[in-house]
Structure 1
Amino acid sequence: MGTENPSAPPRAQSAVAGNPTRSRHRTGGVIHENTRHTARFVVIGNHLTQHPDLSLLAIGLGCHIQSLPTGTPVDIKSLTARFAEGTKRISDALRELEAHGYLRRERVRTPAGRIVTRTISCNQPSHRRRAADTGCPAPQPLPAPERTPHPRGPRPRKALPAVPQPSGIAATALHQQATDLLAGLRRHDPRLLLSATDTEHLAPGVIAWLEREVTPTAVRHALTTDLPDEPLRRAAALLAHRLAAQLPPLPPYRTPAGPPSPTRHRLRNCDGCDHAFRAPETETHCRDCRTAAQPPH
């Protein structure tokens, strides 16, 4: 009698503990119908999903990043290709997550010597457990590159890519126009501020475009459209590549106007010898008859 039956159904409990007067059937708010996950799921804390300061886009993006396998690209370009939000909104959401500790971006050096950006997703930014438990290793400082003193001073600057060269006689007249166009690129993007040396190198390439009857507006559009989002380390090299790779073809060849065709008179008979000859209507005799009629000198 005193033994409980483990197979007996449990006693029904109220939907709201401590308040039996409230009904199970609520008229407002969310009602959850949960099914236990057994595969393909990730545990995400409410501190992220219900964060009071993060935007809805940042919360959703943070949940998406935490659900990805290790090694999945989460740069702005990859996320923009995956979602309908634009580059600016995704960039702002990443900065929110980074400001609240859910993301950390570090620049590390690969064994090949390249500097790359590594993104670390932290599922509990405020938890102070050991780095091996949290999955968020402490940032390692970049190893200082070994520098060997150069016997002739600093390392020489890498040469810029070659640009198309003008071929017409109007190249000198177009030089100032090309220089002004290059100097004005910084008004469209401050990263395109060029030095005098870079401008002098790029000017012949711009002249080659202008010689092909491309308007300055079209040249400017070709040089400033779809620039990468990251900082431009060598803006002049990028512009030189575009001038060479996107060089338009020469305009259709125009045959220069030549001298007018000679007038072809109709045949007529000479009044002197009755031979046929070509001459204006005013001539009545052929050349031989006119020569014979001239008096001797």
Structure 2
Amino acid sequence: MGLGGAVARHGLEDELMRTTHLLRTRLWATVGLAGLAALLTAAPALAASTDDDTPRTDAGTSFRTATEIEQGHRATASASTGDYLYWSFPADAGQRPTVKATVKLPESAAHRPGTRWRVDVYDGLRRRQSCMYGMQSRPADAATVDLACTLRPVRAWSDTWSNDPLPGTYYIRLTATGLRTADLGAPVTAEVEANSKDIGGAAAVDGTLAKPLVPGASVDSDDPDDAADSGTRAALSTAEPEDGWASGWWTDRWIWTGAGGVLAALAGIGGYALTRGNGRAPSGA
């Protein structure tokens, strides 16, 4: 009986040691996955903080001449009431862009009844995108008019009949409506800025575009004597995200799916270790 009790006690100690080792391994794996997820989530913010914040001081007057700006950078322009002002910026899959505009009016142009300032955002196909929220249009009832428009999350792919925002170039158009002839030509100063919130896996879809919607035109030279210009490309927009176009293949769903699989496997191993017994035959008489 003494020998059987010692064997049973030894087997129980071995089982407790294996269980403790499995729990410790699972704990460290969980901590490591949580740290990796936090690092990957913080990486875009760290990259954005090192951007050069050099403002642009001009604006285009059409889609083709829109001034390119980077997200997080403020652009300013001096114009006249009645002008159409255009800027463009890149937006990638998983982002939810927000455009803010401020118009500063002289006293002669402020408090004009019927005059409204409006900001619109168009995608690379020149489809006007609706705003989820934000004051997109305001009356010119003060010396400063603040406008904002938050778009829906940019999707990596959508059906052809859908008007969903897609990766590519986005255009900002700022203008005044309801102007009288006497109001035209008044000097104004405009400021615009585009920022995005990373939505991540919440906006992920099963599909990707072959290329982002960046308007451009290929210009090929058929003249053999002009080899230097052969195959050149004249693009209407050249701006792209700092890290390039993601093409929708990577989202944080990969992290949480992998973490869930690892935790499920560890839970299965731990449950098996706790319920399988010590594997030793009972001692005989």
Fold equivalence (TM over 0.5): no
User: What band does the TM-score fall into relative to the shorter chain?
Assistant: under 0.3
Q: Larger % of helix: which?
A: 1
Q: TM-score under structure 2 normalisation?
A: 0.21
Q: Larger % of strand: which?
A: 2
- Over alpha carbons, which structure has the higher Rg? 1
